[in-house]
Amino acid sequence: MTDLSPIPPTLLAPTDTGWVEALTEDELPEPAQRWRIDGTGSAAWAMAHVVSAEAQLEALTAQAVEWYARIDAWLAHESAQPRATVAFFGAHLERFALDAREADPRKKSVTLPGGKVQTREAKPRAVVTDEEEALAWALNHAPEAIRTVEKLRLEALRQRLTVREMETLAWVTNSCGCKVSVRDDEGLDIPPVGTETECSECGAEALIGMVEVLHSRWVVTDAEGGFVPGVDVDPGGITARVVTG
C-alpha cells in the first residue's frame, strides 16, 4: 500500500500523561498550593495564562482537523480498490443467490466456504414520500394514524409548583435548659419559639426557646404542600465563568 504518512510517526507512540494525572492540588508543591489571586495584578497574570492556553488549544484543534482530513484522504485512497472489489463480486454473488432462489423457491440462502448469501422476500407496502401531504390527508381520512406526543410545558408546570427549603435536622433548646435533637427526613414540624411543649429529654413542661437548623434540603411541592414525584430542584447559585478577549 502507498504510505501517505497521514500523521507524524511520533504521534503513534504512547503519550506520557503522568504529569497531567499528578496535577492535583494535594500533589502540587506547597508554594503552589498556597497561591491564590490576591489582587488585580495577579488576576491579570492568571488571565494571561488562560489566554495563552486557549490559543494553544485552538492551534492544537486546527492541527487535529488537518490530520483528520489527511487521514480521510488516505483512507479513501487506500480503500478504493477493496471497496470496488466488494461491490463487483458482491453484486455477482447476490445475482447468483437470486437466480438460485428463482429456480428453487425453498433455497433462501447460498452457503459457501467463506460465508453465505442470504435472500429475503419483502411484501409490497406503502411508504411515505411526502410526510406533510400524507399528514394533511390523514387528518381528514385516517385520524387513528396520527400520533400525538405528550410533552411537559415546563414554564406552565413551574407556575403550579413551589420550590422551598425544608428543614430536616435541628437542635431545639427548651426553657428547662435541655437541648434536644429533632430529625425528620420528611420535614420538621417545629412549633414557633415560645410555644409550650413537653420536653422529650426531662419530661417537664417548657417553652421552646431557640431552634438551630443543622440540615435542610430543597423540595418541590404542590399547592396542598404534597411532594411532586419526578421533579427535583436545581438549587441554582452564583457561578463564575472566564471569558477572554
Residue 230 lies in a domain: no
Bigger pLDDT: 1 vs 241: 241
From 160, 179, 182, 159, select the one nearest 169 (Cα to Cα). 182
175 and 86 co-located in one domain: no
22 and 113 co-located in one domain: yes
111 and 165 co-located in one domain: no
Residue 26 lies in a domain: yes
107 and 193 co-located in one domain: no
- Three-class SS of residue 227? strand
Q: Which three cell numbers stand for residue 13?
A: 507512540
From 119, 132, 70, select the one nearest 93 (Cα to Cα). 119
98 and 163 co-located in one domain: no
4 and 116 co-located in one domain: yes
Domain closes at, from 97, 120, 143 = 120
Torsion of CA 36, 41, 43, 47, to 10 degrees: -130
Dihedral sign (CA 53, 58, 62, 65): positive
DSSP 122-179: -------S-HHHHHHHHHHH-GGGPPPPP---HHHHHHT-EEEEEEEEEEEEETTS-E
CB environment 145-183: b (16+ within 10 A), e (fewer)? eeeeeeeeeeeeeeeeeeeeeebbbbebbbbbebebebe
From 214, 227, 201, select the one nearest 167 (Cα to Cα). 214
3-state helix, strand, coil in the chain (%, to 5): 40, 20, 40
**Containing structural domain, residue 91:** 1-120
User: Which are the contacts of 57, defined by CB distance < 8 A and separation ≥ 6?
Assistant: none
Domain closes at, from 94, 120, 146 = 120
104 and 187 co-located in one domain: no
In the chain, the amino acid numbered 101 is: R
Residue linked to cell 482537523: 65
Q: How many domains does the chain have?
A: 2
116 and 183 co-located in one domain: no
Predicted confidence (pLDDT) per residue in 200-210, tens digit: 888 888 888 88
115 and 19 co-located in one domain: yes
Residue 145 lies in a domain: no
Residue 63 lies in a domain: yes
Confidence (pTM): 0.55
**What mean pLDDT is reported for the chain?**
86
Predicted confidence (pLDDT) per residue in 69-119, tens digit: 999 999 999 999 999 999 999 999 999 999 999 999 999 999 999 999 999
Number of CB atoms found within 10 A of residue 43's CB = 11
Using an 8 Å Cβ cutoff, are 213 and 195 in contact?
A: no
Predicted confidence (pLDDT) per residue in 152-198, tens digit: 999 999 999 999 888 888 888 888 889 888 887 777 777 788 888 88
Strands 179-183 and 109-112: unpaired
Residue 143 lies in a domain: no
Residue 85 lies in a domain: yes
Max Cα distance, the chain (Å): 102
14 and 80 co-located in one domain: yes
Residue 234 lies in a domain: no
Residue 51 lies in a domain: yes
Residue 56 has pLDDT above 70, yes or no: yes
